[in-house]
A = this chain, B = another copy of it.
């Protein structure tokens, strides 16, 4: 195997984007060490990286867990995405032909995945579109930010069972790129805002439902469940499900000593 820590971290994020890793899932150090054929040290480094990216949390001497964003967190994540992506589109002056080509190529892959039956790949590509867009529009820094944000919203979608259809998402991507190709950035922004709104609204429905119903749903027999192909049905995660996100350890605006 032999993988570096960044490699392992990226793999985990990919798995989240592909909905193969669910919120609240535990990532044991020894477990990962065995899988990747390295020592716990390297795994710890990877997990540290991920926690810095706000993707996982560590519960002291208990384990590392994929975040389970609260509804407030969800709100914040979508707000952040809106701000970054709309800002990105508005700041874009003009897109050259090569960029449009690249984006269309991405969409073509989305379509292919829609025809196929690999749900993971489908989910990954749908989320990756936004990362790809940021990269194409020339800002790698924001692309990285968006990657983490997208991972976050993917986890949210899994947690609150988004009802937004993959085909719809893809269609909206098409429209956005079309608008960009036309040079109509204003329209592209509007479409993007609507697109993110659709995704977010897909999970609103659960909001008003009482927790008991949610639990009943969660405990329903595994019939038509869209659960990812996980090794085993492990328990849902740490008690402090809605604990503060990792990086909040960064104190709010204190001056240096």
Residues of A within 8 A of B (CB): 5-6, 10-11, 14-15, 17-18, 20, 44-45, 48-49, 52-54, 76-77, 79-80, 82-84, 86-88, 90-91, 106, 109, 120-121, 124-125, 128, 131-132, 135, 138-145, 147, 149, 245, 247-257
Contacts and interface: CB of A to CB of B under 8 A. Distances in A.
Nearest to A135: B252
A228 to B, nearest CB: 12
Return the 6 tightest CB-CB contacts between A and B, nearest first.
A87-B87, A83-B87, A14-B256, A52-B52, A80-B141, A49-B52
Given A76-B141, A141-B245, 9 more contacts: A6-B249, A10-B251, A45-B48, A87-B87, A128-B253, A144-B247, A144-B250, A145-B145, A147-B250
A248 B140 contact: yes
A74 to B, nearest CB: 11
Which of A88, A135, A253 lies at the interface centre, i.e. has the most chain B CB atoms within 10 A of its CB? A253
A39 to B, nearest CB: 13
B249 A125 contact: no
The count of identical subunits is 2
A124 B91 CA distance: 28
Nearest to A18: B256
Contact of A253 (B83, B135, B142, B248): B135
Contacts of A128: 253, 255
Contacts of A90: 83, 86-87
Which of A52, A86, A132 counts the most chain B CB atoms within 10 A? A52
A132 B247 CA distance: 16
A102 B140 CA distance: 33
A143 to B, nearest CB: 8
B10 A250 contact: yes
Contact of A139 (B14, B49, B80): B80
